[in-house]
A and B are shown apart, each in its own frame.
Chain A
């Protein structure tokens, strides 16, 4: 059900305004005054641009949030961040969590999409169920899962019932499993989101293309690998980008499920930024870590962009 996509494709090719490639300057007859952008630009500068630039600047100072006093301290705050065991753990945890979620959520989402994009009778009900966790408050979902994953919780109960009792453990209390347990919760919650994006991609593949492949003797796996997957490239790019940016900002579920523990096993960049500023009052440290986070996100986005460019060509 690619709503916007179908709306768009139905519309006759309009002037690609903004690209300026058609050689036409302004179309006569349409007046779109520049001052229409003023409220948006004003709000954007006030809420995003100015405070972000200030943040970047303050990361080189000892600004403590109170009053106007500050002095330049060079790279001291960044040295503090990179020599801090907790901050280093948070950086590693964040990248690992994002990577696990990107892979797992896309695999599960694609499998669900392939499942409901078939003749199964219950496909509409299934779609509603798989998607339901997406709208659930992440904090609330985190609390529910922390109960399910507790030593006497339903997860261990299901494992025992399936004869897999030897796998049962205190998932969130064990530093070696806590981060992955949080990843499971996130994948449960947001696979439905990936699913609907893949589903929109699958439904825009013309049936004739698949029929042609079948006539040419392609089996189900070959059809998927050679025809479906390449045509899903756009959906993959969108899904990976969404998961990646979301994964790198993870906060709510961590607070609900572990609070960052045990030790620093599930501390993320976001939780560390929050705690260092509001629990410890260390604004310079917090703000330097926020700059590091911005760089991490920019680098990941750039890497992803390069990778998808290569896959496309």
Chain B
């Protein structure tokens, strides 16, 4: 391990900064183009002066981004809350009980990691249609929860298996029932892995396109990516206008990322250990 800043470190730093600038080209281009006149076709790297914000007002109105962002937010919030509650609860007996039903339930659930959603897609679509849930946020929420459970249960179970039993035993001596001792003693101890589960699922669900396209496309209840998809096909090649819509749709996730980058990066890195 190098401990001093040498000429070699300096050269390495220069190379890494050049790569970082290349990584930033799409993001800079995205913002730059959105500030040009609506029908401009100039390159993403030629800066237009003066910048205009006209595209933002038009895009906000034409792409119906207000309600779409609201729906994205609702779906993400409710799905993640349900995933955390259901997965953490299930992981507890799966980690603590050594009977064979526990082991086989665990294997059965994590086996779901290998099943692509496409296999269930059409039968599930027919079920949601028969239940009258097409075009409602509940269809997307329920499917998110079911599909994300295997990974979340896996993370919680692996974490719990490494957690010492002392606290739970102490809680039991105090005479608390199983659900209460789980909520007051075990769940708070799961905070690090709950952080990972929340971050991975929230980013994934917020950005998801396929599922909401299938269940909400064409309805009044779209999410931000689905609204963007319709918006882009409507205004083909009016790039500055399109890019303003894209910027609006990603502002929430980018703001959250830059505000909480330390925790988000940790969440992604930590979720896959073990």
Query: Hey, which bits of chain A sit against chain B, CB under 8 A?
Result: 1-5, 7-8, 11-12, 14-20, 24-27, 29-34, 36-37, 39-41, 43-44, 46-52, 54-56, 58, 65, 112, 115-116, 118-122, 125-141, 143-145, 147-148, 152-154, 157-158, 188, 193, 196-197, 199-200, 207, 210-211, 238, 242, 245, 248-249, 251-252, 255-256, 269-270, 273-274, 277-278, 283, 286-287, 290-291, 293-294, 297-298, 301
Contacts and interface: CB of A to CB of B under 8 A. Distances in A.
A107 B246 CA distance: 30
Given A32-B92, A47-B145, A293-B116, A143 B232 contact: yes
A8 B23 contact: no
A58 B122 contact: yes
Contact of B169 (A19, A30, A119, A248): A30
Contacts of A54: 120, 123
A158 B243 CA distance: 20
A26 B98 CA distance: 6
27 contacts: A1-B266, A1-B270, A11-B162, A17-B96, A26-B99, A29-B172, A34-B93, A34-B101, A37-B105, A43-B146, A44-B149, A51-B123, A55-B119, A119-B2, A122-B16, A125-B20, A130-B20, A130-B23, A132-B27, A133-B23, A139-B225, A140-B246, A143-B246, A148-B44, A274-B214, A277-B122, A290-B122
Contacts of B249: 137, 140
A48 B2 CA distance: 49
A302 to B, nearest CB: 10
A136 B161 contact: no
Contact of B16 (A20, A120, A274): A120
B65 interface: no
Nearest to B224: A137
Interface in B102-153: 102-103, 105-106, 108-109, 112-116, 118-127, 142-143, 145-147, 149-150, 153
A19 B95 CA distance: 9
Interface stretch (B47-55, B56-64, B203-211): B203-211
B3 interface: yes
B274 interface: yes
A25 B99 CA distance: 8
A16 B272 contact: no
Contacts, number: 353
B33 interface: yes
Nearest to A189: B26
B265 to A, nearest CB: 6
A58 B119 CA distance: 10
A144 B249 CA distance: 13
B1 A207 contact: yes
Contacts of B267: 3
B163 interface: yes
Contacts of A152: 41, 43
Interface string B26-37: 110110010000
Among A3, A132, A197, A294, the one with the most B-chain Cβ atoms within 10 Å of its Cβ is A3
Contact of B23 (A122, A129, A199, A269): A129
Contacts of B121: 51, 55, 273, 277, 290
Given A34-B93, A290-B116, A298-B114, A44 B3 contact: no
